[in-house]
Amino acid sequence: MARDTVETHFTEAVTALSPGAPRDPGMPVREGTTLTGARCRELFEFQLGSRLLDVASRWLREQGEGFYTIGSAGHEGNVAVAAAVRVTDPALLHYRSGAFYLARSVMAGRLPEEGLRDVLLGLTASAEEPMAGGRHKVFGHPDLAVIPQTSTIASHLPRAVGVAFAIERARQLGLAGAWPGDAIAVCSFGDASVNHASALSGLNTAAYGAYQGLAMPVLFVCEDNGLGISVRTPDGWVAAARHRLLEYFEADGCDLADVHDVARAAAEHVRRHRSPALLRIGTVRLMGHAGSDVELSYRTKREINADLERDPLVATARLLVEAGLTTPDELLTRYETTREHLFKMAMESSRRSRLASAVEIMEPLAPRTPEAVAPASTVAAASRERAFGGRLPELEGPLTLSQAINRTLADTLAAHPDVLVFGEDVARKGGVYGVTRGLQKRFGAGRVFDTLLDEQAVLGLALGSGVSGLLPVPEIQYLAYLHNALDQIRGEAATLSFFSRGAFRNPMVVRVASYAYQKGFGGHFHNDNSVAALRDIPGLVVASPARPDDAASMLRTCLAAARTDGSVCVFLEPIALYNTRDLFDDGDNGWLSPYAPPARWAETHIPIGRARSYGDGRDLTIATFGNGVRMSLRAAVRLTAEGYSCRVLDLRWLSPLPIDDLLHAAELTGKVLIADETRRTGGVSESIVAELLDAGFTGRIARVTSADSFIPLGDASRHVLLSEGEIEDAARKLLG
């Protein structure tokens, strides 16, 4: 449906309206509704602005000055949702919630032109757009409590549930969160999104929490136009598919009076009962999915015209005219005046500066302030005494990797009341491998708790908690399980700072039990060695400690980076090394390390992107990480006994890679062997080779990796995983 068709229909339909008897603007526009004439006129202005923004977006595209044409035409009834909630209620908006955004902007005390200009600057990809700065067209603004969302379908629902959860959890813990204690979260989305796994995860998580008596104040708003681009949503499907434990409300989004009253009732229910609800707003879609959409290829003219007859802008105009609050001529004059003014604003916006360099584009991607990240002793002695029951970890003697992580988490929980540790089995059980054992007993179920078995839900709770002022430390039980919910990190967590120029952040440290080599326990999903999907996410920090002392220091670094810089960190914990004690011989306790007391945290600090070197050999550098560190050290000892001089470089950080340390070690020996437990194709070794070559390294390079295979059960895994013998043989070949 072309924009001129929609505009012509509006003009003709409004012209044909018959004015009613004049009515007091303070009276309802229609019997049986609470929408007053004055309020209806206000909301019409936002609906009109949203419609004309869509018209302008198509015009800008025709001029070669606009870059986004997915609009809100037909969905303008969502303005009533904005009117039903508070300016301080955090909102995560569907890309067709334009009228909501304009209303929220004015409700927050801004001039009407400011909200319009926000959107126009986004359409023209201007660097002056106040949220994303030309990086993407979003609805978002820090002063409006509107958290920007990309167009990833439904991926924001788990985060919305996390925001609702965090509102209540912060209040219960007596913390000053980002939102008022009586706020509710508002999340809008389309009908096609109802079928998406992340939407189902969000809706189910909210219902699951409410079923257990947890406060989950989230209002889900489904703007149902019956189409997902060209795919039809069956009539009644949203109502039929809704979770039975969610309070359900339904309104005609093309009737402003109806959606106004129903939205108020839905918002009031969520606020009063602190429980989730789903509001379905029946809408139409005008002008197609986007500017390039040819609707006639999948819809009949009769269907398109039927939507046009339900145009919500015309319907609101009818309410005003029939209530005697205005005349058709006044409305048409207002339409033309606003249109002319908006087009002038659009042209002016197209002349604003745009992003001009890679440096400028990437500036908000992953800010790093290493000088501010170095941890200091912030734990009061008395708090530590209570947290550890009088037995401080530095007095325990050498610890395993698992114990070191546990003690670091305890120190963090004792020092920072806003830290939450959660995931599947982490509370009573203390994690499948006991890493979080005892933490819930010491710090309470409000801060250390189990979640439902849904990785999207786990990460959604973390996303919502992080953007709400808390510091979440979620656990994903196995590396392979992370892939079930990777878009929560890729599409949601890693993009928020980028698309908000740092105005919104979701700091978090995601702990993941990782890699292979478990004894007596195997199979693909519990022994996964794929990290490629993490390493190509811009700005993501990927930590991979091997030794207990490094694990403690690196975890403190990740936590400090999350708190200070808003970093999103994934902390890969080698399962096979959790309880390893020995390095070379049984009983040598060579893989244990003492726990550093707070007074030594700054001294033992490990900056992001710094490697650790073992030995001072000049013949060969073995670059490795994770389980490869222990295997390489054992191989290096045998090679040393044969007269070779080797050093082992533990990369420790897989993203960003410690390039400077790698190059230094490579130049010292002139030969580099990469021992990589991930796969040969798409593994870490490929990037290491590329970095060495890009830096002009002219020495010899070789690599040994695990095979391009999934990991089978039991002893068969040895045939596809990197082994000590392979490292040793490759080293001899390179040295020879």
pLDDT digits (tens, 9 = 90+) for 445-467: 999 999 999 999 999 999 999 99
**pLDDT above 80 for 584:** yes
- Mean pLDDT, to the nearest integer, of 190-197? 94
287 plus 141 within the same structural domain: yes
Regarding whether 252 and 138 lie in a shared domain, the answer is yes
The answer to the question of residue 358 being in a domain is no
Any domain includes 361: no
CB 158 within 8 A of CB 197: no
For range 540-554, the mean pLDDT: 98
Q: Is the per-residue pLDDT at 382 higher than 90?
A: no
Q: Tens of pLDDT along 596-632?
A: 999 999 999 999 999 999 999 999 999 999 999 999 9
The share of the chain scoring above pLDDT 90, in percent, equals 91
Residue-averaged pLDDT of the chain: 95
Domain total in the chain: 3
The order of strands in the sheet holding 612-614 is 612-614, 646-650, 620-624, 671-679, 700-706
- Here the CATH number for the domain that contains residue 663 is 3.40.50.920
Determine the residue type at 574. Answer: P
pLDDT at 489 over 70: yes
How large is the average pLDDT for residues 554-576? Answer: 97
**Predicted confidence (pLDDT) per residue in 294-321, tens digit:** 999 999 999 999 999 999 999 999 999 9
**What is residue 715's predicted lDDT score, i.e. its pLDDT?**
86
* Residue 280 neighbours by CB distance under 10 Å: 23
Question: Does residue 377 register a pLDDT over 70?
Answer: no
Closest CA to 156 of 178, 188, 183: 188
Do 323 and 29 meet the contact criterion of CB atoms below 8 Å apart?
Answer: yes
Question: Do residues 161 and 31 both lie within one domain?
Answer: yes
Same domain, 89 and 209: yes
Examine residue 364 and state whether it is found in any structural domain, yes or no: no
User: How, if at all, do strands 646-650 and 612-614 pair?
Assistant: antiparallel
Residue 694 per-residue DSSP state = H
Same domain, 347 and 402: no
Looking at residue 291, what is its pLDDT? Answer: 85
Same domain, 337 and 416: no
pLDDT band at 255 (very low <50, low <70, confident <90, very high): very high
CATH (domain of 130): 3.40.50.970
Q: Kindly state whether residue 619 falls inside one of the protein's structural domains.
A: yes
Structural domain boundaries enclosing 663: 612-735
Contacts for 612 with CB less than 8 Å, ≥ 6 apart:
550, 606, 649, 650, 652
- Evaluate if residue 91 carries a pLDDT over 90: yes
Q: What is the pTM of this model?
A: 0.96
Q: Are 649 and 668 in contact (CB under 8 A)?
A: no
Task: State the pLDDT confidence band at 135, using cuts at 50, 70 and 90.
Answer: very high
Question: Residue 502 — left, alpha, or beta (φ > 0 → left; ψ -120 to 50 → alpha)?
Answer: left
Rounded Cα–Cα distance for residues 149 and 364 (Å): 16
| 717 vs 736: CA distance, rounded Å | 30
Same-domain check for residues 600 and 617: no
Band (pLDDT 50/70/90 cuts) for residue 371 is confident
pLDDT of residue 376: 63
136 is a domain residue: yes
Whether 345 and 441 map to the same domain: the answer is no
Question: How is 91-124 classified by DSSP, letter by letter?
Answer: EE--TT-HHHHHHHHHHTT--HHHHHHHHHHHHT
Q: What angle do CA 442, 446, 452 make, to 5 degrees?
A: 110
pLDDT, position 90: 98
pLDDT band with cut points at 50, 70 and 90 for residue 552: very high
Same domain? 139 vs 190: yes
Adjacency order of strands within the sheet including 185-190: 146-147, 91-92, 185-190, 218-224, 277-282, 247-252
Mean pLDDT calculated for residue range 388-395:
93
What is the 8-class DSSP label of residue 596?
P
pLDDT above 90 (res 74): yes
- Would the pLDDT of 352 be above 90? yes
Given this model, what pLDDT does residue 521 score? 67
User: Which residue among 526, 605, 664, 719 is the active-site one?
Assistant: 526
Is 129's pLDDT higher than 90?
yes
For position 163, what pLDDT does the model report? 98
Question: Is the pLDDT score of 118 beyond 80?
Answer: yes
Are residues 490 and 424 part of one domain?
yes
Q: Is the dihedral of CA 219, 223, 226, 229 positive or negative?
A: negative
pLDDT digits (tens, 9 = 90+) for 202-233: 999 999 999 999 999 999 999 999 999 999 99
Mean pLDDT of 155-163: 97
- List pLDDT tens digits, range 25-71: 999 999 999 999 999 999 999 999 999 999 999 999 999 999 999 99
pLDDT bin (cut points 50, 70, 90) of residue 367 is confident
- Residue 587 located in a structural domain: no
Same domain, 126 and 222: yes
> Region 623-650: what's the mean pLDDT?
97
C-alpha separations of 731 from 105, 585, 638, 678 in Å: 64, 22, 11, 18
pLDDT the model gives residue 217: 98
Q: Which of 433, 436, 441, 411 is nearest to 422 (CA)?
A: 436
* Within a domain: 308: yes
Mean pLDDT throughout 146-165?
Answer: 92
Q: What is the pLDDT of residue 714?
A: 85
pLDDT at residue 150 in the model: 78
Q: In this model, does residue 524 exceed pLDDT 80?
A: no
Distance (Å, rounded) from C-alpha 417 to C-alpha 414? 7
Residue 522 has pLDDT above 80, yes or no: no
Across the range 708-714, mean pLDDT stands at 90
> Are the C-beta atoms of 10 and 55 separated by less than 8 Å?
no
- Kindly state whether residues 160 and 241 are assigned to the same domain: yes
- Is there a domain that residue 362 lies in? no
Is 526 a residue of the active site? yes
**What 3-state DSSP class applies to 69?**
coil
pLDDT for res 48: 98
